[in-house]
Amino acid sequence: MNDRRKLFDDQADRYDGFVGSGPFPLAEYDEMLDRLVRMAAVEPGERVLDVGVGTGNLSQRIHARGCEIWGIDFSPRMLDRARSKLPTAHLVCADLLDGWPPEVSGTFDAILSAYVFHEFDTAGKLRVIAQLSEHLAGGGRLLIGDVAFETGAELSAARQTYAKWWEDEDYWVAERDLPRLTERGFDASFHRVSFSGGIFRIAPRRSGASPETDCGVDRSPPNP
């Protein structure tokens, strides 16, 4: 983990210049961030938490809608960049795999994350999602945009096509991970953004409600 933190620290000053510039894995980077904000339907005055805020690109879009911004990231250098863009935001250096940071208090109307959860294994993903759900206000929205595929076959094809850029990370597969979320008591749906990315909308299941999962809702045509 210290090696990963150093990697992101070292990338902080040049991150905005190269992110989304290659064909994989962050294809349609800007569209992913824009779609996250649209789907979250954030409104002025709402408290919004950005998980893995990085250099603040997603939070800038949320701030433009008049929201109160909170952000968590484990890279101090990334947070320095975010603070230069978002001087009024509440930004906390923490790793959610180590537990919830006490500096982040209260509940949130929306919790968003972009291109972070593929850094966690399955157990870590589920553990962090459970933490986040405990900090949602009533009617709050939890949306995770990330490197993701609808099927295992799509992931295998991408692994072959983009072998030059492939990293040994835990990319989402909707047909596999939606049932896992259902088993843990969440309703979840997957919304394709590109051939290698999509958004999971996740909510704690209401008491007595039947499980709901929906794979592939609101697809955009995959890019080559």
Phi, psi (degrees; rounded to nearest 5) at 182: -60, -45
Read off the pLDDT of each residue in 136-159 and give the average, rounded to a whole number: 96
pLDDT of res. 18 = 78
pLDDT of res. 209 = 59
> Residue 44 corresponds to which tokens in the numbers above?
């002025």
**Exposed, middle or buried: residue 143 (CB in 10 Å: 0-12, 13-18, 19+)?**
buried
Structure confidence at residue 41 as a pLDDT band (50, 70, 90): very high
More confident residue, 14 or 140: 140
CATH T-level fold of 2-215: Rossmann fold (3.40.50)
pLDDT of res. 29 = 93
| Domain range summary for the chain, segments of one domain joined by + | 2-215
